[in-house]
Amino acid sequence: MTVLPIVTAPDPVLKKKAVKVAAVDDRVRQLMDDMLETMYLAPGIGLAAPQIGLSERVVVIDIGRSEENRQPLYLANPEILWVSDEDNIYEEGCLSVPEHYAEVTRPKAVKVSFLDRDNNTVEIETDGLLATVIQHELDHLDGVLFIDHLTSLKRNMILRKLLKQKKEAAADK
Ligand code: NI
């Protein structure tokens, strides 16, 4: 497996609508495995293909957090079928928005359909943290970051800091 570099905001690939994969074939399976490895190492609990610079509708999630507790979810071409009226608020972060966290309000429960690692169509209904992570990752496929759910004042403050960090990192090279 290969650990891939993670793209951080601001970057055009993070704002782009990703395209569907034709099927989960060996190439997509390899991509899913590499993304999962990258996510575990980061460490994170979700990663979408645009975050490694690939504009395709592929996501990996594992909210298990510990090595003994691993429960990876592989999603290709995911679609939200239903969301609850009731909302939840979680403090969210993102590997593409390093070191920034903010509370985001989203529907508490979702029903989602996707192709799994074996190219089978799967439907799951879930709530709590997993429902939030699914919505956060699916947003990435449509070029939306969690900071896009904040006020423009907060968003611009975070983006300015990220841009500054990027410039400083580039200058150090
Ligand atoms: Ni994210």
Percent of the chain's residues with pLDDT above 90: 90
Ligand 1 centre to CA of 85 (Å) is 23
Ligand 1 centre to CA of 147 (Å) is 10
Residue 27 phi/psi, 5° resolution?
Answer: -60, -45
Count the Cβ atoms, other than its own, within 10 Å of residue 167: 10
What rounded mean pLDDT belongs to the chain? 96
pLDDT for 83-99, tens place per residue? 999 999 999 999 999 99
Ligand 1 centre to CA of 4 (Å) is 15
Residues with C-beta atoms within 5 A of ion ligand 1: 94
Residues labelled catalytic: 137
pLDDT for 127-169, tens place per residue? 999 999 999 999 999 999 999 999 999 999 999 999 998 888 8
pLDDT at residue 26 greater than cutoff 90? yes
pTM over 0.85: yes
Cis preceding-peptide flag for 43 (omega within 30 of 0): yes
Ligand 1 centre to CA of 161 (Å) is 17
Question: What residue ranges do the domains of the chain occupy?
Answer: 12-168
CATH of 12-168, one of 3.90.45.10, 3.30.450.40, 2.40.30.170, 3.40.720.10: 3.90.45.10
